[in-house]
């Protein structure tokens, strides 16, 4: 099939590259000249395992190309995907400026029937909005259909999730158009869910809100476990083995971050408030998440007292492993608070240092873990990268000024850390200072 992806962020670029890998002809369009320039040179602007290799393969086969020209992409495609950003503004409202501009631009370039796919995460009612904008600008020159097709990609696993979806949601008033899109996804497998546009849009928000709530729930249980002497890792295991619950998103830690859960939960609450509904569960999940990420700072104060002049080593900057994304990452809030309290911060991350450097001041970034930890009064493990799971702990203990180790992801065994002489603190397990 001939496809056009408008927007080359995580969703658009990953989807476009993977669909080209499946032998479709894909044109990825973006008005960002620098980004398109990098892509034309074969430089991948985001970190996703396997994506660069798939991109090179698609280009070499003539299946994948990049352009700044919206008209070129639209006229040479049968299916057009809208994958532009929809940032959060005013405490929860979704900015649809880019979606509206793209919809109008598509209409002005159309010369034949097209299927337009809204894949960006958008509020309920956006498919109707896009349909209206295109119809107004098209002025009857040709026919079209708009399908809501939300994405469910996990950063760091986006290639796998694209090629192995557990479900594909297609929301449209025209079943025939939805079936065409289903044919595009058929080689990937996954259950097809055909529904109305409003339900498709709601499925995305409801899914993310539920997962965010699950994370906040286990973190709240973890806080109680610390008080009563229980071990949250064992509690989560006992819960997760129940098929009705499952282990997914049931790991206690420092809460969720990234570009999706924080934005989507706020957007859902804003939508509910506008319609006179109060989503108390989701509101509580957000409140718990915001307080959870500050837990390491409280632990530091409890064991070190005043943080003025203390050297704190932060291990992990990205909001999760296998991505360089630091948007809404717990590390950012933790580091800023430590610095506000007078602490000195060294930070290490395999790939997220460049992005963290754009939003953080006063931090000494180190590519080497042991350099970052040398002379530290405490270490805070924030992101469970593999390299931080395999530390030479004896060496770490020796080079630290004081062996305070705050394990924000419960990576290490409590008894092992105590035998090595650490003052070890973790989440939802008995802590030993």
For 294-426, the fitting CATH number among 3.40.50.300, 3.50.50.60, 3.40.50.720, 3.40.50.2000 is: 3.40.50.720
Per-residue pLDDT band at 430 (split at 50, 70, 90): confident
Cα separation, 136 vs 150, whole angstroms:
24
Mean pLDDT of 281-297: 96
Strand residues in 70-213 grouped as ranges (E) = 79-82, 88-89, 93-94, 114-118, 144-148, 167-171, 191-195
Residue 318 tokens, joined: 């990205």
Whether pLDDT at 294 is above 60? yes
The pLDDT assigned to 215 comes to 97
Residues of the chain with CATH 3.40.50.720: 2-195, 294-426
Task: Reduce the DSSP state of residue 272 to 3 states and report it.
Answer: helix
- For residue 433, the model assigns a pLDDT of 54
pLDDT tens digits along 325-366: 999 999 999 999 999 999 999 999 999 999 999 999 999 999
CATH architecture of 2-195: 3-Layer(aba) Sandwich (3.40)
Ordered DSSP codes for 9-20: SHHHHHHHHHHH
* Location of each CATH 1.10.1040.10 domain in the chain: 204-290
pTM: 0.93
- What's the fold here for domain 204-290? 1.10.1040
CA distance 184 to 187: 7
Catalytic residue ranges: 260
Query: Nearest CA to 28 among 41, 15, 46, 44?
Result: 15
Q: How confident is the model at residue 221 (pLDDT cuts 50, 70, 90)?
A: very high
């Amino acid at each position: 099939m001939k496809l056009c992806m408008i927007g080359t962020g995580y969703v658009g670029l990953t989807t476009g590259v993977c669909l080209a890998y499946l032998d479709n002809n894909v044109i990825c369009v973006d008005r960002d000249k620098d980004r398109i320039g990098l892509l034309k040179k074969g430089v991948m602007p985001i970190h996703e395992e396997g994506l660069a290799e798939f991109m090179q393969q698609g280009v070499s086969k003539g299946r994948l190309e990049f352009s700044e020209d919206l008209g070129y992409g639209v006229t040479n495609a049968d299916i057009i995907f809208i994958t532009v950003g929809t940032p959060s503004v005013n405490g929860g409202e979704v900015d649809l400026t880019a979606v509206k501009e793209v919809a109008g631009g598509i209409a002005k370039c159309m010369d034949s029937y097209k299927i337009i796919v809204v894949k960006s995460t958008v509020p309920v009612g956006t498919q109707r909005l896009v349909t209206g904008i295109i119809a107004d600008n098209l002025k009857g020159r040709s026919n079209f259909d708009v399908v809501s097709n939300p994405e469910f990609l996990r950063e760091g696993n986006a290639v796998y999730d694209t090629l192995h979806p557990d479900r594909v949601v297609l929301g449209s008033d025209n079943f025939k158009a939805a079936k065409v899109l289903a044919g595009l996804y058929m080689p990937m497998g996954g259950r097809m869910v055909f529904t109305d546009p409003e339900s498709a849009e709601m499925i995305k928000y409801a899914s993310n809100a539920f997962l965010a709530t699950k994370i906040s729930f286990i973190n709240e249980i973890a806080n109680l476990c610390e008080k009563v002497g229980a071990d949250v890792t064992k509690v989560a295991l006992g819960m997760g083995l129940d098929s009705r619950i499952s282990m997914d998103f049931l790991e206690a830690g420092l809460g969720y971050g990234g570009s999706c859960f924080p934005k989507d939960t706020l957007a859902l609450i804003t939508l509910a408030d506008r319609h006179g509904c109060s989503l108390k569960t989701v509101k509580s999940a957000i409140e718990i998440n915001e307080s959870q990420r500050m837990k390491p700072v409280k632990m530091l104060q409890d064991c070190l007292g005043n943080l003025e002049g203390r050297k704190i080593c932060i291990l992990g900057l990205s909001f999760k492993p296998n991505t360089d994304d630091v948007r809404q990452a717990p590390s950012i809030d933790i580091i800023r608070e430590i610095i506000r309290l007078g602490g000195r911060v060294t930070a290490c991350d395999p790939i997220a240092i460049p992005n963290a450097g754009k939003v953080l001041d006063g931090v000494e970034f180190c590519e080497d873990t042991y350099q970052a930890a040398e002379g530290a009064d405490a270490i805070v493990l924030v992101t469970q990268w593999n390299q931080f799971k395999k530390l030479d702990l004896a060496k770490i203990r020796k080079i630290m000024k004081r062996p305070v180790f705050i394990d924000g992801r419960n990576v290490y065994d409590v008894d092992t850390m105590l035998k090595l002489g650490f003052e070890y603190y973790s989440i939802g397990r008995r802590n030993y200072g």
